[in-house]
Structure 1
Amino acid sequence: MTAVTHRTAEQIGHTERGPRPLPELGAQAEAAQPSIVDTMIDNGLHVIVVRRPAVPMVELRLRIPFAGTDPMHSARAEVLANALLTGTKRRNRTQVDTDLAAVGGDLAAVVDPERLSVGGSALADGLPVLLDVLADALTEAAYREEEVGREKERLTERIQLARSQPSVIAREALQRYRYGDHPFAKEMPEAEEVARVEPADARALHQAAVLPKGSLLVLVGDIDPDSTVDAVRAALAGWGSAASASVLPVLPTVTGGDALLVHRPGAVQSQIRLSAQAIPRTDPRYPALQIANLVYGGYFSSRLVENIREDKGYTYSAHSYFEFTPSGATLMVDADTASSVTPAALWEARYELGRLGLVPPTEAEVNAARSYAIGSLLTSTASQSGLAGTVAALATVGLTFDWLREHPLRLAAVTGEQIAAAALEFLAPVNFTGVVVGDAEQLAPQLRAIGGVVLP
């Protein structure tokens, strides 16, 4: 028997003449235009239907603006979202689940300070049932006392568990520090607020705020767009109101400044959360900033990851990304570190921000980030589910499928000079603020020494 010789990855990647050359990048082609209908139906609902016949399924995404300024709005909205699909006047909870299961379907609702979202899927030939269950919930949700009580108990448990998590503590601290008392800052109600919500409160909020005008419905799958719009129009004919869904007031601009140290007694790990104002996808500078962010910390081969993870071992994961908001976008930098190296990690994160503006990305860095950006966009929209989510996210800020189809070409056309300019303008350390959550007794002396941090 001939012995099998195993080659290492380095050996596989080399020839006798040296490393195997990477193949040249091909010319970026414009994405194909699918069959799509984008229209407004009689009740004011914006409907987008995209034919994607990959599998005999259909994906549904409903987005209803759901802002509120009442101090109890967050609690009522959470109870409403959790109980919306637990029964209607003609279906109890079991019947809702049974009808959906019969067509291989599911529906779920979640809420945030900006919108109420309902999402799900079904077999393509089960679309009439999926739409009927959705319409029933939108027009006849019952909010029965026993169901609301059960959901309140589950919600209270989840809130109490979430509030013990360092990542949630850091997120809430950052939201308060960035946006003060703006409704967008309150992403989770207090458990005692949830306990005060009654079924009548959920019914009243549903009547006042679950409205089609200003809302968006996206359907993607092995379906005919024209006949699907007709089916939507018929199924949702009874859902209507003269009022429009409630949108959030404009967010205040995030301004740079000192980070805030939030004391978490006894913590052995810290959470670094930095944020700066960015630009929306509609801005012509966005493609350049998107690639600049990737070079900084947006993927595993970024400068930030190489510095504080691979080189210095300060963190297992560090990441920078866009957070798209109702009125624009912000840039975020996240890193969780051991308390002993938190000040050093913060210093290096700021250093890499400054270095990106002063030492522009090399051609190799730009090409790698560009390939990642284009590839991840195409990958994220390759499935029916991914395409439905992406189309919904774009449409809520006024962007059509054309933007999605053309964006790979914009990324391919971005120059190194444009990327360097975007980094200098938007990724400068002075643009950022944020929070550091950790044990102040351990962190304060070193943070005081490096500066730029408000101590408790």
Structure 2
Amino acid sequence: MTPDRTGRPPAGAPRPLVLPGFERRTLPNGLRVEYAGRRGVPEVSLRLVLESGAGVEPAARAGLAELTARLLTAGTPGRDAMDIARRLDRLGAGYRAAAGYSVSTVSMHFLSDMLEEALDFLADTVLDAEFPDGEVDRLRSERLDQIDRQRDDPATVANLATIAELFGDGLYGRPVGGTADTVSEIGRDAVRAFHETRYRPGGALIIVCGDIVPERLVAAVEARFGAWEGRAARVEPPPAPASREGGVVFIDRPGSPQSELRVAGVGVPYGTEDHHAIIVANAILGGLFNSRINLNLREEKGWTYGARSGFRFRRGAGPFIARTAVETSKTAPAFEEMLREIEGMRTGFVTADELSLARNALTLSLPLQFETAAQICGKVSRQRIFDLPDDYWETYRARIEAVTPDQVRAVCRKHLGRERLTLLAVGDAAEVGPSLDGFGAVDVRPNA
């Protein structure tokens, strides 16, 4: 029988999202352990989540949490950084430690028959890190060099200036990695004190997914972390910044051939009642390639390689940022188009095609985000960090598909009013400045 090639074949049924069931144990010292078996591939992914993010570091030493995490592999009793690197290489394991605003995480990936050896490595680096003076100096210098180089990257300048404008001196107004002034003040004593205070089992969580035998895993964790003592209180979100009228900020970069543009405002934390409607609204506005601002600025106008927007959900209200880069002469027109698209989301209704595209993009790809043990650990850790419901991912598709055009317009009206939005550009002020007068008073600043 000859197949009919005159039309597109019907789409198949969406792939179901099948998640492994996680079991939970809490050790006497307060360390929580969650684990799920996943047979078929002899691998294990592990994530240790600690209440030791930037939210509990002194503002004058911003970057302390991140530097502490990076220094975990810099030295342990009897081993220097090179010895530790060689040991990790022999394990054939992946290891990464980093800090965010709320928590620090240590992630490992290894073959399942190396479980005990990998947990030995994890325990040594997390519990017995020594933070040698030379390594503290080296990594602090690397971070300062990185900060210095960022001044030459207009996109980074725009991102940092945007959060500073929205959140001021608050936690979310500074980068997790700190600034040149604050990082310069971090020494070994500060790192050791932070580690001593915040790297504690009470409040910590180990998430494991992969080819495991549960009894073997629990016994191995208890043997290596059971004697760990102390408690670190939950890192609470910062207070929301005071309401303020959005302005226009221009970071002068003389001679720049293009401008980095940001339209930004204070968004919302995880867990608001309109959470899923916000996700759908942003997908239509600027979260997808076929979103309104990208189709406008890139596909129709040809002014940019891409334009995107996003809400950064955190324990506290993070930023909403729409961003793009255009040639200098298109700075003001691009701002006009971005604001027009935002206002259109607030005053009009999205089409059935737009809503269908957003729903499909957000839900049909969901199973692909749970294909590996590492992905599953990451998704589950996000649930725990931000106190999302246990069925958050299982009900995600239904909640996204239930969002209506009325709800999309309502969340845009609520969160994206022009009075709440700040316009920020990094570019040549002499060329662009006068063309921005129609947006309000322009605050021109040097690229410090």
Q: Provide the residue aligned with 2:120 in structure 1.
A: 132
Q: Please give the per-residue CA displacement for 1:321-354, whole angstroms capped at 9, x wherever unaligned.
A: 1201222444221111211111111110010011
Alpha carbons of 1:280 and 1:192: their partners in 2 closer, same or farther (altered >3 Å)?
Answer: closer
Gaps of 5+ in 1: 1-13
| SS of structure 1 residue aligned to 2:29 | coil
Q: Provide the residue aligned with 1:157 in structure 2.
A: 145
Matches within 5 A, 1:138-287: 138-187=126-175, 188-191=177-180, 193-225=182-214, 227-244=216-233, 246-252=235-241, 257-287=246-276
Alpha carbons 1:366, 1:416 under 8 Å: kept: yes
Alpha carbons of 1:229 and 1:337: their partners in 2 closer, same or farther (altered >3 Å)?
Answer: farther
Alpha carbons of 1:79 and 1:455: their partners in 2 closer, same or farther (altered >3 Å)?
Answer: closer
Residue 35 of structure 2 is aligned to residue 49 of structure 1: yes
Alpha carbons of 1:30 and 1:453: their partners in 2 closer, same or farther (altered >3 Å)?
Answer: farther
Matches within 5 A, 1:16-415: 20-21=7-8, 23=10, 26=13, 31-65=17-51, 66=53, 67-68=55-56, 70-187=58-175, 188-191=177-180, 193-225=182-214, 227-244=216-233, 246-252=235-241, 257-415=246-404
Alpha carbons 1:59, 1:120 under 8 Å: kept: yes
Distance in 2 (CA, whole Å) between partners of 1:430 and 1:353 is 12
Judge which range, 308-317 or 140-149, deviates more: 140-149
Out of 408, 411, 417, which is 2:406 matched to? 417
Alpha carbons of 1:254 and 1:210: their partners in 2 closer, same or farther (altered >3 Å)?
Answer: farther
Counterpart amino acid of residue 309 in structure 2: S
Distance in 1 (CA, whole Å) between partners of 2:133 and 2:324 is 43
Q: Provide the residue aligned with 2:418 in structure 1.
A: 429
Alpha carbons 2:44, 2:211 under 8 Å: kept: yes
| SS of structure 2 residue aligned to 1:325 | coil
Alpha carbons 1:216, 1:396 under 8 Å: kept: no
Report how far residue 297 of structure 1 moved. Answer: 0.8
Alpha carbons of 1:281 and 1:375: their partners in 2 closer, same or farther (altered >3 Å)?
Answer: farther
Alpha carbons of 1:212 and 1:168: their partners in 2 closer, same or farther (altered >3 Å)?
Answer: farther
Counterpart amino acid of residue 154 in structure 2: P
Gaps of 5+ in 2: none
Q: Stretches of 4+ moved more than 6 A in 1?
A: none
Report how far residue 24 of structure 1 moved. Answer: 5.0
Q: Provide the residue aligned with 1:5 in structure 2.
A: none
How many residues are aligned here? 439
Alpha carbons 1:85, 1:108 under 8 Å: kept: no
> Sequence identity of aligned pairs in percent?
28
Distance in 2 (CA, whole Å) between partners of 1:398 and 1:373 is 21
Report how far residue 389 of structure 1 moved. Answer: 1.4
| SS of structure 2 residue aligned to 1:220 | strand
Distance in 1 (CA, whole Å) between partners of 2:9 and 2:410 is 28
Alpha carbons 2:17, 2:366 under 8 Å: kept: no
Counterpart amino acid of residue 352 in structure 1: E
Distance in 2 (CA, whole Å) between partners of 1:62 and 1:185 is 26
Distance in 1 (CA, whole Å) between partners of 2:40 and 2:28 is 31
Report how far residue 253 of structure 1 moved. Answer: 6.1
Report how far residue 30 of structure 1 moved. Answer: 5.9
Judge which range, 238-247 or 151-160, deviates more: 238-247
Q: Please give the per-residue CA displacement for 1:355-406, whole angstroms capped at 9, x wherever unaligned.
A: 1222311111111111000133322222222222121122101124411111
Report how far residue 167 of structure 1 moved. Answer: 1.8
Alpha carbons 1:79, 1:151 under 8 Å: kept: yes
TM norm structure 2: 0.89
| SS of structure 1 residue aligned to 2:321 | strand
Distance in 1 (CA, whole Å) between partners of 2:137 and 2:428 is 38
| SS of structure 1 residue aligned to 2:394 | helix
| SS of structure 2 residue aligned to 1:43 | coil
Distance in 2 (CA, whole Å) between partners of 1:193 and 1:73 is 5
Judge which range, 217-226 or 435-444, deviates more: 217-226
Measured on the aligned residues, the alpha-carbon RMSD in Å equals: 2.6
Alpha carbons of 1:70 and 1:280: their partners in 2 closer, same or farther (altered >3 Å)?
Answer: closer
Q: Provide the residue aligned with 1:7 in structure 2.
A: none
Counterpart amino acid of residue 402 in structure 2: A
Alpha carbons 1:35, 1:225 under 8 Å: kept: no
Judge which range, 159-168 or 311-320, deviates more: 159-168
Alpha carbons 2:203, 2:231 under 8 Å: kept: no
Distance in 1 (CA, whole Å) between partners of 2:234 and 2:402 is 39
Distance in 2 (CA, whole Å) between partners of 1:54 and 1:255 is 54
Alpha carbons of 1:58 and 1:434: their partners in 2 closer, same or farther (altered >3 Å)?
Answer: farther
Counterpart amino acid of residue 23 in structure 1: P
Alpha carbons 1:260, 1:436 under 8 Å: kept: yes
Q: Provide the residue aligned with 2:440 in structure 1.
A: 451
Distance in 2 (CA, whole Å) between partners of 1:253 and 1:238 is 44
Report how far residue 438 of structure 1 moved. Answer: 1.9
Counterpart amino acid of residue 327 in structure 2: A
Counterpart amino acid of residue 82 in structure 2: T
Report how far residue 105 of structure 1 moved. Answer: 0.6
Report how far residue 69 of structure 1 moved. Answer: 5.1
TM norm structure 1: 0.87
Distance in 1 (CA, whole Å) between partners of 2:301 and 2:416 is 22
Report how far residue 132 of structure 1 moved. Answer: 1.5
| SS of structure 1 residue aligned to 2:228 | coil
